[in-house]
Amino acid sequence: MPKWIKAKRLSAFTTVPYGGNPAWVIMGADDLSDTEMRRLANDLNPVSDTAFVFSESTKEADIFLRFFTGSSEVNFSGHAAIATYFALGGEDVVLLKEPETTIRQRTKTGIQQVKVRVRNNKIVWATMTLAKPNYMDLDVNPVPIAKFLGLTPNDINISGFPFDVISTGTYDLIVPVRSLNNMRNISPHFALMDSYCTRLDIQGIIVFCLETFEPGNTAFVRHFSPSLGVSEYVISGAAAGSLGCYLFRHKLLESTNFTRIVVEQGYLQQRQGKVFVHIEGTGGKIYQVWVGGNAVLTFTGYILTPS
């Protein structure tokens, strides 16, 4: 039987309502089937990720999250996970203690630790661990990449900036470009991109440059994932985390035991936001990856489940 369950909409990785990446969070999803979750995700936001919150109280985790797009389940979604924690205020799903609460979250990628700052029973900042990076060795030809991005091989074939495939949740090919002007000129051919990703058994393409819109930030990113039904993410926490691992791995930033970078996304879609990434590691080895940021609640109400 259909029933009414609580739904919230948030703008993730921003402090501005309707900035950042929109994400729906569905509370009390324990009785929903996979088909029902996919149908709800498709109806609410077919081109991005919806988070579903399950109750869980075990030795391993305090909360269980699953993520769906309109076409399939996604193992992990950084922006939807961050949005979830800002949706938890007043819901009694987890016990929030001021000034900081640590939550153990379970997703399809494993157990992650989340640290939230709490003020007046509301979360004002959230930071979570990602899966430790995994790498895929591929011999990458820049010509087809340039073709499906609508750029020239010279735009992306930059000395000292290799192509790399990294996963902190999903496997993405990381592609450097020279400037913000190149980023503006990207004209993606999604059918070619989807075919390329399927052939290499990866989920998306992360394109970045070290030129930024705001001084002091580290990099600007665009993240494409047509194979998951998302042509372009406005902002992706997992992509920002993978880029942090890339910069650390290839010694393209000053390395300390606790390296911090700020990743810009969404500026070309007038939904600018920032992902704060911390890399814990030494000697080229990464021990922990954290991503964090804000989210803003823009809607709360109830939605009828599919029959």
User: pLDDT for 104-158, tens place per residue?
Assistant: 999 998 899 999 999 987 899 999 999 889 999 888 999 999 999 999 999 998 9
- Do 123 and 150 have their domain in common? no
- Do 147 and 58 have their domain in common? no
- Do 142 and 273 have their domain in common? yes
- Do 156 and 194 have their domain in common? yes
- Do 204 and 101 have their domain in common? no
Region of poorest pLDDT, from 129-133, 281-285, 296-300, 301-305: 281-285
- Do 121 and 145 have their domain in common? no
Q: How far apart are CA 275 and CA 219, in angstroms?
A: 10
- Per DSSP bridges, beta strands 285-293 and 122-129 are antiparallel
- Report pLDDT for 164: 96
Residue 194 has pLDDT above 70, yes or no: yes
For residue 124, report the phi and psi dihedrals to the nearest 5 degrees.
-115, -10
> What average pLDDT does the segment 267-282 reach?
92
- Band of pLDDT at residue 258, cut at 50, 70 and 90: low
State percent of the chain over pLDDT 70: 98
Residue 276 has pLDDT above 90, yes or no: yes
Q: Does the model's pTM come out above 0.75?
A: yes
Share the mean pLDDT of the chain.
Answer: 92
Cβ neighbour number for residue 57 with a 10 Å cutoff: 9
Q: How far apart are CA 13 and CA 274, in angstroms?
A: 6
- Do 110 and 159 have their domain in common? no
- Do 145 and 214 have their domain in common? yes
Higher pLDDT, residue 72 or 205: 205
Range of the domain at 161: 134-290
> What average pLDDT does the segment 84-96 reach?
89
Q: How far apart are CA 26 and CA 36, in angstroms?
A: 12
Q: How far apart are CA 144 and CA 147, in angstroms?
A: 5
- Band of pLDDT at residue 257, cut at 50, 70 and 90: low
- Band of pLDDT at residue 294, cut at 50, 70 and 90: very high
- Do 286 and 300 have their domain in common? no
CB 79 within 8 A of CB 235: yes
- Do 59 and 122 have their domain in common? yes
Query: What's the pLDDT tens digit per position in 32-76?
Result: 999 999 999 999 987 788 999 998 767 789 999 999 988 889 888
CATH number of the domain that 203 lies in? 3.10.310.10
Residues in the chain: 307
- Do 223 and 92 have their domain in common? no
Domain count, the chain: 2
Query: What's the pLDDT tens digit per position in 216-248?
Result: 999 999 999 998 888 999 999 999 999 999 999
- Do 45 and 139 have their domain in common? no
**Which residues are CB-contacts of 236 (< 8 A; sequence separation ≥ 6)?**
21, 77, 78, 79, 221, 223, 265, 275
- Report pLDDT for 295: 96
Strand partners, 280: 258, 288
- Report pLDDT for 57: 67
- Report pLDDT for 25: 97
- Report pLDDT for 131: 86
